[in-house]
Structures are given as structure tokens and as C-alpha cells.
Structure 1
Amino acid sequence: MEKATRLFDCMAVQAKAPLDDLLNAKVNGAWKSYSTQEVHDMIYQLSIALLDMGVSGGDGTTEGRDKIGLISPGRPEWLITDLAVQQIGAVLVPLYPNTNPKELEQILNEAEVKYVFVSNKELYDKVNEVHSKVPSLKAIFTFDLIEGCTNWTELFKPLQKKDRQNLIAVSNAISENDVTTIIYTSGTTGRPKGVMLTHKNILSNVMASGLVLNQIPIARKRALSFLPMNHIFEKMVTYIYFFFGYSIYYAESIDTIGVNLREVKPYLFTAVPRVLEKVFEKIIIEGKKLKGIKSKIFLWSIKIADQFEIDNKSIWYKIKLAIADKLVYSKWRKAIGGNVSAIIVGSSACPVRLEKIFTAAGIVILEGYGLTETSPVISVNHYQKSSRKFGTVGPLLSGVQVMIADDGEILCKGPGVMKGYYKNPGLTAEVMENGWFHTGDIGVLDQDSFLKITDRKKEIFKTSGGKYVAPTPIENKMKENYFIAQMIVIGSEKKFVTALIVPSYANLKPWCMQNNIPFSSNEQIIKDSRVIDLYYSIVDAFNLEFNHVEQVKKITLLTDEWSTDSGELTPTGKMKRKVITEKYHAEIEKMYLDELTEVPIL
């Protein structure tokens, strides 16, 4: 592969090995493929249109470059717009489709966005609602054909020789150190911050991470994409696909992933841990429908998967694993298309039990770690067994340095570290010190140089007795039980630790049926003493693995799953702890009505 210095150099690489199905999406219920030539033609046409509209790289500074907004789920038009904006030196400002109007207005104004591209009528209306409050915004274009809206294809025109020459001159002037995008973080700790990433930032991560993905033995480079494209994780992986010759298929929605997996039959995809949890929940539900010997075989196969270790050399275990694979695991793989060799997992901690179960079933989980500010990968587990370890986020990515501060915070240095926060030098100075980026995460490098994340620096709390508690390890461990869907540990300035738990109702319902417990609603069932006892017994068993001060003494079961739409989760699935504790303030306080004595767990 020739030396690339800008993200849009992927186009020259693609032109040497064109694909008939570079980008693919459902249109009117049928898959439509866009060839390399079609994609490139549309990119060039949109680039020329933007130049004709006066969009430019300005004076070369980040502040002087024009900003283009993009709000859409993943689809071919997203990448075409991104690359068109890149090669004329403008800056893409992608936003989450569920960004609320107030944040949308703030971001569009802060970035002084000139034009916005949206996918559908709902997003058009959302942007149009704040249009009058954003002086810089000149027009909104839609990908879908919508009456009364300007469709993006209206910008396209046949390319003239002089257009191509002009475009080449403009793109040749773009440097690897130029900012190509401003990505606003999802905001677990407050108002989103605009992270400025250069071509070099992202491309360094693409090339180093691409070498890791290239270890995966696959017959056909075909991937399914369903995570938000405006998140740096999915965007960076997409450019791996572009540079390394993959075809990309876009899922219709988060609800159609299962169907789309079976249709596309991809060899790998990216996911957040919650997706794996949902898949495993469905596996358990189907398994519990089995009777007699089939049920026993299913339960035995789960036990075998639970015992999986990467370096297990036991011949007897390998025989049992092969039998379980033939009878059970092969059916799991078929349910997700039959070809998936690996799933790249990021954004939040993946329960070790899930990693073991999927890997035992021949679907290798490659968990990694990083932040928007690091473009994003800092470390990642490899497909090769020697570079993979459960309970860690893998060895450091090539070219990345990590130092553990005295207080345990992970500091990072390397070509992927951001240029800074847009229009916020003060905040940039807070997280950057002598080239080292302060991640805000607590972790350790083990004796084999594998990185392990133990907690968020700001999430560690102190009890009223002066003892520090890291909630994340407790939550991650207890969520390994399939009756627990979500959990948050509470205890800051309190005498003891408590927890809010969202049950996995998909797994709880069959258990209730087996135990002759009527299940009319979520509200009704969590009040049943037998269900409450079940959850206390689960928590009690896990408590044995923690120090006394870390043990959960009281719990409250909740009726509704936390989600992005209801505000408790960021778009990438991270808990908004402040939002959750404020929303369930009454439930939390009820657990602490009598703090004079610790109430022993049942």
C-alpha cells in the first residue's frame, strides 16, 4: 500500500482494487450496492458543488475553515459527504441524530456551521427548528427525497475537466496536520466538547488498527455497520475497511441487526457490549424453550463456554468444546450469518463472561480501549492468542505510549492524540501535560504489558467512613449474571454501598413461569418477595469476591431499562451517573432511611 497522509487518500487505494459493492444499503426493502466508481463519482461531484457554494479551507486555520454539519445514521451518503468535505479542506462536524435541540443549537453556533446534511424529515425538522438561531447556517440538504426540502442530489452536476483540475489543486494543498473533523463527545460529565482531530490523528490509528484486523482469517472482506458513524470508533473502523479493501453493508436500524446479519453474512463487525448482552439474552431465551436431552445439552454447552480459557491445553476440554461446537455453538454462529470470525468491541467495559462464551463459540471478541481524544484506539486485543487476554483491553497499539500516573490514571502519548478542544484552550490545558493526554480512566499495565481498566477517575467515590470504592468493577462483575441487565452502584458519602438494578426481564419471565410466579407486568413482579430474594441471592454470591466496604448491602429493582432516548445512557451506551442518581433520588434515599446500622444482605 502506497504511503497515505490524508484520510481521503483511501480513494486512490480503492481505485487500484475497485469493488462492485464498496458501500451497500437497503433501499425500498432491497439491498442496493454502490461500486467504487459510483462512490468516487458522487464524492467528486459533491466536492465541486461545495466549492461552487463557496465552501473552502479558508485561511488554513481550524477557525478559518468552513464547517459542514452531518446528522444521519450510518448509510453510504454519510461517507460520501465526509470524503467530499475532506478533500476540499473543510471540516466535518457530525452529530448524533438524537442530539436535543438545545445542544444542537449550541454546537452549530460554536462551530459556525455553514451547511447541514441530514438523512430524513425528522432530522430536517429538528435542524430547521433552530435554523433562525444559527446565523452561520445557510441551508439544509436531505438524503431522503422529501417534499419541500432540497435534496442533496440537486447539487450534483456532470464534472468538467476544469472542475477536476481545480479540485486536485485544492486537495493537494491539504496537509496531514490539518483538522479534518470536530467530533463532539457524548457528554457523560456535562456539555459536549468539540474534539479536533487531524488527518494524521485518525490515519495513524487506522493503519495501526488495520494491521490488527488483518490477522483475522476471513474468506471475504465483508462487514456490517450499525454503530453511530459520528462516533470516532465506527468512523475509524470504517476507514480501515476503506484502506484494506472491505465491502461495507449498513444495517437498516438497531432493531434489524439480527435479520441483516443473516442477510449479509459478514465476517466481522463492531459492537458495544450491550449488543452482545442482547444477543446472549436471546440465546438463553431460546435455550430455555428446549426440553429433555436438548435442554441438558444446551445447559452443558453454556457450562463448557464459561470454563473457556485462551491458553487451555487440556485435550479433554478441547474434545468437550468440539462436541459443544457441533451440537450448539454452530447454531449460534448460523443465527448471526454463519461467517462471523470476530467482533470488535469498544466504548464501555465488556463482561469477561461474555467474552469467554462468544470466543468459546468461535466468535472471537476483540475488546479495545480508547477515547475520542485519542482517535480512538489506545490498546486492543488481537486475534492471535499470544496477544489476547480476558479481562484486559489488550496490548498497546503500535506507536502509542502509556504511562500510569501516581494516582493510577492512564496517560497517553502518540500520533492519535487530538489537536485540542475546539475554542477551549483552557480545557485542553487541563487534560494535556508535556504531550501526555490525561484519560480520566484508572488502570494498570500487567507484567505482559496488557492494559486493564479498573475505573473512571471521577466515578470512584468515598463512603462516609472515608473508604474509597470503585463502582465499575462491581457493576461489571455482577452483570455477568444473566438476570441483571443494568446496574449502578451507589454510596458516595453514605455509610454503605447500595445498587439500582434493572432486571433482564427477558430472562426473568421464564424463571417466574418455572417457579409458578404470575407475571402480569414489570411493576408487579419486582415487588414479589421471591423475585427480590432471587436478586439478593445473586448479589450476595458476588459480594464474596469484594472487600467488606465494596459489598452491596441493599438493592432496588427498577421497571424500565435505561436508554439513550430516556436520557440515562450516552449514544455509545455509557451510563450518565448523575442523570440516573437524580432521576431515582427517591429510590436511593429510601435505601438509606436507616443508616444507623448496616442492614445485612439476605
Structure 2
Amino acid sequence: MEKAKRLFDCMEIQAKKPQTDLLSAKENGAWRLYSTQETHSMIYQLAMALLNLGVSGGDGTTESRDKIGLISNGRPEWLITDLAVQQTGAILVPLYPNSNPKELEQILNEVAVKYLFVSNKELYDKVNAVCANIPSLKAIYTFDQIDNCPNWTALLKPLEEGYRDKLTAISKTITEDDVTTIIYTSGTTGRPKGVMLTHKNIVSNVIASGKVLNQIPIDQKRALSFLPLNHIFEKMCTYIYLFHGFSISYAESMDTIGANMKEAQPYIFTAVPRLLEKVFEKIMVAGLKLTGIKRKIFLWSIKVAEQFEINNTSAWYKIKLAIADKLVYRKWREAIGGNVQAIVIGSSACPIKLEKIFTAAGMVVMEGYGLTETSPVIAVNRYPENGRKFGTVGKLIDDIQVKIADDGEILCKGPNVTVGYYKNPEMTAEVIKDGWFCTGDIGELDEDGFLKITDRKKEIFKTSGGKYVAPLPIENKMKENYFIEQMMVVGAEKKFTAALIVPSYTNLKPWCAKHDIPFTSHNELLRDSRVIELYQSIVNGFNPEFNHVEQVKKLTLLPDEWSIDSGELTPTGKMKRKVITEKYKAEIDKMYAGEEYENPSLVH
């Protein structure tokens, strides 16, 4: 592994220990296995077909290399296309399937995409509607069989004599410093930026992060993948699997993750905090339906999990934990296949409460931190107990340097740092200074070397009284209450701090039924004085944990959950604060009408 310099070097390692199930995915209701030999054959065939279509690495410069677009959910074809494109010297430009047509058109024109691969008819139709405005695009290929659409299998033909040698000769010219992919960040504000990542950027991260993964005691190397592969977090983790002999199963969709986990029985998977929140929500809904002693045992087990601490030496707590495991936690693990040892969390901050609950239940949450521009991992919590600390994103991985600027911003230097933004040297110069990448995040390194993220630099705001408020810690803390689904703190240039809150209707509705509160809609629920009092009491309970200026004085409950499709969240689940602020301007203005309020109250 240490000798690997390019991502496709994983194939040479795999060939030495071939697997019957290197990749797998559901096709027509049944799992379809891709052996190492079949996968490699498809990669070489597609790479040769691309060369025959005129795809090339140009004169070796990033600008001259052909760009191949890829818009698809995670599936074996995604990875096969990636590895094939790499060996031609071209650059892969993967995009989110839910990108809007205008954004797709802008990006595909910016990179002058030559060929494009899409997964299904919906995506084909979306791109086909704007392809006339993309002069560089020569053809679109689909993974699914679609009438009157070129299918990618038409490119997969047996290699003729000498073609393999030709392909090998070309791949040998590709160096670790060559850009292998341009990943467009979704961004919480502004237009997406094309982050250029070299083989060295990603491989260095694969090697360092792979050492962390190898600490997990697993019997069989099986992983489940369901996050977008065009996000560097999932892509980098995928290459850890490929270099370390894991088999990878792809979930059919986000809606089938639970069923697919039970079938694939993974030992590890990556996720974002939002998914864990949803899983725990379902656990709570099921548990609260219980009656009698079973309900009491369930609620007791939740309390035991919430009390979990790393390196807890209390014999009495260990006895309680063992009892809770036998009666409750074991069933949680069985529901997702029975084998999960670790869950690697990224993208945004994970509530400590969730980390404790899942870790106590035998599914160790390993939260990490990084950005697309850092390939992505900068720090991560380890599996061993001395390598984890709740409330932090772990220790730095090998070969990464971090320093904290005078204003608290985290600066990073290492082989993982991007070479820059595509066709945007001005913005590159803004974020990379003297070799240090400015992350835009505020944080601190504690005495034990654990990195803690306290907020986003651009999200910290100043009240009209000149006091600074960091919204993220407030939001994360209050979201630990399972009646709060989503929350955004506001108050820039205002006299006090306020908040928009989306209730967890999954938990709120049973509470309402228990308290004989009738409802026909979310809006009706939010008008009930008892619901208003519930949320006011929750906020009042948390407020003493923050200083006066940070305490939420007023809040508005919202009827609709924020989502990717409705535009309030990025594809990785982060809040688009600007979008939310504009969308709910009237609600925010109402909270600040007069601005004379100093005591907590609620607008609904």
C-alpha cells in the first residue's frame, strides 16, 4: 500500500487476492456480484473504448486533458467508469444527480466535457434537455437500458491483441501529481467551485486514513455504500476499501438502506449525522410503542446509553451496559445485519448524544473532519478507546499539519491539500496562503491533540450590541432533544439571538396523541398552546448552558422539514443559511418586530 502512487494502483493489489464479490448491487430484486476478474475486465474494456473514441490526456496539463462527466447514484458502474477514465489520462468530473439543469449546464461547459455517463432515464432527460447548449459534449451513455439511448455496455468489447499493452503504456505516463478528478462543491452559498484533486492528494489520504480503519477488529471485510460517490468523503473511503481487500455492496437507494444492511451484513459504513438522527428517530418511535415492562426496559436502556463515557471503569455501569445490550442493543444491531462494528461520520457535526448512544450499543461512531479541498480527512476519531473523545473530530491523521490562526481559523498543510480551483486562480490564492489551506472553520487543538470544531468562520455573526455569536454549538446542543428535528440560529445585527425550529413530527405526533391534542396538519399543531409551551420549555432548559447573548430569546416553529429537494440543504445535508434566511424572511422579521423583547417568548 505504501508504494501506491495513483488510485488505479489498487487494481494491481486486488489482482493478487481476487474476490468473487469485489462489488455487488441489487439488479431486478437480486444481488448481482462482480468478481475481481470481471470488474477489472470491464475497466480495461471501457478505458480502451474511451481511447478509441479519442479521449486522451492531452499534453499532460490539466487544461488539455479531456473531461468525462459522470452523474449517477452509487453503483458498480460508477466505480468502473472512474477507474477506466483514470487510466486514459482524462479527468473525471462527477456531479450530484439532484443538480438542477442550469447548474449542470454551467459546470459541463466550464470543463468542456467530452463524454457523459448517467445512470437512468430521469438524468438522461435532464441532461439531454440542455445538451444543445454544451458544444463540447459528443455523446451521453446510460447505465440503465433505456430505449433510444446509447448504453454503456456497447462500449465493452473484448480487447484485441496488443490493446492491453497500449493501455498499460499510457497508464505508466500518469503521475501522482496529475489531476485525477474535479469535484464541484455544492457550497452553502454562491456558485459551486471545481476542486482539482491529484492522485497524490487522494492516495495520501487513503493511506493515512486506511491505518485508522485497520484498527477496527472485524472478521470479514464487508462495507455498504450509500452516500454520493461524487462526494470526496465517500470516494476516498471507497478507495480505502479497494486497497485493503474489502468487498463493497451498494444500497439501492436512501430509502432501502435498512433492508440492504440486513441483506449485505456490513461491518462498516460511512454516514452523515442526519442519517443517524433518522435511525435513532425510528428506534424511539418503535420503543415508545411498547407497553408495560418492555417499555420501561427500553427507556432505561436509552438512559444507560446516554450515560456512556469512553474509558468508563465503573464496574456497575459495565454491568448495566451488558444487561442493556442483551435486552435491547443486540436487537438494534440485528436490525442492520448484526455485524456493524463502526460507523464513520463526516460532512457535519454529529450530536454527542448520538455518538454515545450508538457507541454504547456496540456500533462505534468514528467522527472525522475535513473538506473537499483536503481530500478530505484532516482528523478522525480512532476505534481504540484511547483514540476517541466525544465532542471532538479526533486526532490529526499522518502527514497532516494543522495550526490555529489568531482569529481561531483552522489552517491545514499536507499532501492532501488541493492544487486549486479549476479556472479560478484568484479564489485559489484566497484560500491557500504560503502552503496553508484556510478551512473557514473555527476550532482548537486540546492538550491531548484532539481537534474540536467550534463553528464556521462565515457563520459567526455579530449582534447589534457588538457581541459575537457562534450558532453551530447552540444548534447542535439543542438538537440533542428528540423533539427538535432541525434548527437555525439567527440574530446578525439584531439585539438578541433567535431561532427557526423544525419540530420532529415523528416524535411530536405521538406526544400530541398522548396529551389529547387533535390535529389535521402541521400548521394546526403549531398553533396549539401546549405544543408552544413544550418547545419553549425545551429552549429554556438549554439556555442556561450559554452566555446571555447566545441564549435564544424568541423562536419560530416551522411546518415543513428542510430538505435537499426543497433547496434548504446541500446534497450532503448542510444548511444553506442564506437560502433559509431569504425563504423565511417574514418569520424572522416578525420575531424582531420592535426588538424590545428581552424575555424568551415564541412566535408561531
**TM-score normalized by the length of structure 2:** 0.99
Q: 1:467 is matched with which residue?
A: 467
1:596 Cα deviation after fit: 2.4
Q: Do 2:555 and 2:601's aligned partners in 1 also have CA atoms closer than 8 Å?
A: no
SS in 2 for 1:146: coil
- Which sits farther off after the overlay, 176-185 or 514-523? 514-523
Indicate the percent of aligned positions where both proteins have the same amino acid: 76
Q: 1:66 is matched with which residue?
A: 66
Q: 1:514 is matched with which residue?
A: 514
For residues 84-139 of structure 1, the C-alpha deviation after alignment (integer angstroms, 9 at most, x for no partner) is 00011100000000111111011001101000000001101111111111111111
For the pair 1:334 / 2:334, whether they are aligned, the reply is yes
Structure 1 residue identity aligned to 2:197: L
For residues 185-228 of structure 1, the C-alpha deviation after alignment (integer angstroms, 9 at most, x for no partner) is 01112100000000000000001101101111111111110000
Q: 2 CA distance for matches of 1:16 and 1:581?
A: 54
1:160 Cα deviation after fit: 1.6
Q: Do 1:223 and 1:248's aligned partners in 2 also have CA atoms closer than 8 Å?
A: yes
Q: 1 CA distance for matches of 2:408 and 2:476?
A: 19
Q: Do 2:261 and 2:337's aligned partners in 1 also have CA atoms closer than 8 Å?
A: yes
Q: Do 2:2 and 2:207's aligned partners in 1 also have CA atoms closer than 8 Å?
A: no
SS in 1 for 2:206: helix
Structure 2 residue identity aligned to 1:462: K
For residues 153-178 of structure 1, the C-alpha deviation after alignment (integer angstroms, 9 at most, x for no partner) is 11121112211111011000000000
For residues 247-282 of structure 1, the C-alpha deviation after alignment (integer angstroms, 9 at most, x for no partner) is 100000000001111111110100000000000000
Q: 1:23 is matched with which residue?
A: 23
Q: 2 CA distance for matches of 1:502 and 1:141?
A: 41
SS in 1 for 2:395: coil
- Which sits farther off after the overlay, 393-402 or 507-516? 507-516
Q: 1:207 is matched with which residue?
A: 207
SS in 2 for 1:132: helix
Q: Do 1:351 and 1:477's aligned partners in 2 also have CA atoms closer than 8 Å?
A: yes
Structure 2 counterparts to residues 138-177 of structure 1, below 5 A? 138-177=138-177
SS in 1 for 2:369: strand
Q: 2:523 is matched with which residue?
A: 523
Q: 1:53 is matched with which residue?
A: 53
Unaligned 5+ residue runs, structure 1? Answer: none
For the pair 1:83 / 2:71, whether they are aligned, the reply is no
Q: 1:393 is matched with which residue?
A: 393
For residues 416-464 of structure 1, the C-alpha deviation after alignment (integer angstroms, 9 at most, x for no partner) is 0001000000000000111000000000000001000000000000001
Q: 2 CA distance for matches of 1:14 and 1:197?
A: 24
Q: 1:429 is matched with which residue?
A: 429
Structure 2 counterparts to residues 107-506 of structure 1, below 5 A? 107-506=107-506
Q: 2:574 is matched with which residue?
A: 574
SS in 1 for 2:234: helix
Q: 2 CA distance for matches of 1:115 and 1:100?
A: 19
SS in 2 for 1:150: coil
SS in 2 for 1:113: coil
SS in 1 for 2:162: helix
Structure 2 residue identity aligned to 1:328: V
Q: Structure 1 runs of 4+ off > 4 angstroms?
A: none
SS in 2 for 1:571: coil
Q: Do 1:540 and 1:601's aligned partners in 2 also have CA atoms closer than 8 Å?
A: no
For residues 336-381 of structure 1, the C-alpha deviation after alignment (integer angstroms, 9 at most, x for no partner) is 1111001000000000000001001111000000000000000000
SS in 1 for 2:379: strand
Q: 1 CA distance for matches of 2:223 and 2:290?
A: 32
Q: 2 CA distance for matches of 1:32 and 1:281?
A: 32
1:599 Cα deviation after fit: 3.5
Q: 1 CA distance for matches of 2:104 and 2:600?
A: 47
1:2 Cα deviation after fit: 6.2
Root-mean-square deviation over aligned CA pairs:
0.8
1:508 Cα deviation after fit: 0.5
Structure 2 residue identity aligned to 1:308: F
SS in 2 for 1:317: helix
Q: 2 CA distance for matches of 1:597 and 1:509?
A: 30
Q: Do 1:98 and 1:565's aligned partners in 2 also have CA atoms closer than 8 Å?
A: yes
Q: 2:595 is matched with which residue?
A: 595
For residues 527-580 of structure 1, the C-alpha deviation after alignment (integer angstroms, 9 at most, x for no partner) is 111001000100110101000000001111111111100000000000000000
Structure 1 residue identity aligned to 2:52: D
Structure 2 residue identity aligned to 1:130: V
SS in 2 for 1:38: helix
SS in 2 for 1:297: helix
SS in 1 for 2:223: strand
1:3 Cα deviation after fit: 1.2
Structure 1 residue identity aligned to 2:195: V
Q: 1 CA distance for matches of 2:223 and 2:382?
A: 18
SS in 1 for 2:245: coil
- Which sits farther off after the overlay, 162-171 or 367-376? 162-171
| Matched positions, count | 602
Structure 2 residue identity aligned to 1:226: F
Structure 2 residue identity aligned to 1:218: I
- Which sits farther off after the overlay, 565-574 or 518-527? 518-527
SS in 2 for 1:378: strand
Q: 2 CA distance for matches of 1:19 and 1:175?
A: 28
Q: Do 2:441 and 2:453's aligned partners in 1 also have CA atoms closer than 8 Å?
A: yes
Q: Do 1:24 and 1:34's aligned partners in 2 also have CA atoms closer than 8 Å?
A: yes
Structure 1 residue identity aligned to 2:488: I
Structure 2 residue identity aligned to 1:510: P
Q: 2 CA distance for matches of 1:291 and 1:53?
A: 65
Q: 2 CA distance for matches of 1:72 and 1:467?
A: 45
Structure 1 residue identity aligned to 2:422: Y
